[in-house]
Amino acid sequence: MGRYVISDHHFGHANIIEYCDRPFSSVGEMDSTLLDRHYETVDAADLLVHLGDVAMDMQDGRETVEYFQRLDGDVLVRGNHDVGLAPEDAPFPVLDSCVLEHGDYRFYCTHRPEDVPESWDGWVLHGHHHNNDTETYPFVAYDDRRVNVSSELLNFRPITLDVVTRILDECTPGTRLRDTQAARQYVHE
């Protein structure tokens, strides 16, 4: 069983295509591609922790629930566009943050990296910043102990904690990897 993370799918959000320069001509194409890449990568038996903004759902959470169930998601860490979803109304855990341990690594999982407690001394898995400021929020910011799992930086595919920790094991101080394409040299399959 794999343990996967991703954030910021933004299903149904037309403006995200232009805002994040996504390579899609329509919302329908984007949503279909996001689902296809998910199903090609994640099995139903795997654990999926989504770090927020499943859909552009600022109302009652129904759209978020619908898409998250289509992803066979296990845990949703609520993002700023998931505010309409009340945890008690969801058929899955909805959290503001969580901690995942994998090997020697401890990850604080949150949507916005700005929300990490100052006392946290482990790594941070986050989303929110998409691909808009990869100088400050790249896929891996080793010295800041942050991994940005926004979908654009992962080529719209969830990533396993095995792969994340393998990449971190190969990095050295000062390493900043813009996206998973830049990280390929660090992952020995």
Q: What is the pLDDT of residue 189?
A: 45
Instruction: Report pTM.
Output: 0.94
Phi and psi at residue 28, in whole multiples of 5°?
A: -60, -45
> What's the rounded Cα separation, in Å, for the pair 140 and 178?
7
Say yes or no: domain 3-186 is CATH 2.30.40.10: no
> What's the rounded Cα separation, in Å, for the pair 11 and 57?
9
Over residues 19-29, the pLDDT tens digits come to: 999 999 999 99
Where are the chain's structural domains?
3-186
Over residues 152-164, the pLDDT tens digits come to: 999 999 999 999 9
Q: Which of 54, 29, 12, 18 is nearest to 151 (CA)?
A: 54
Per the CB < 8 A criterion, the answer to whether 99 and 109 are in contact is: yes
Over residues 3-58, the pLDDT tens digits come to: 999 999 999 999 999 999 999 999 999 999 999 999 999 999 999 999 999 998 66
What's the token pair of residue 32? 């279909």
Q: How large a percentage of the chain has pLDDT more than 70?
A: 97
Strand pairing of 75-77 and 47-50? Answer: parallel
> What's the rounded Cα separation, in Å, for the pair 176 and 189?
21
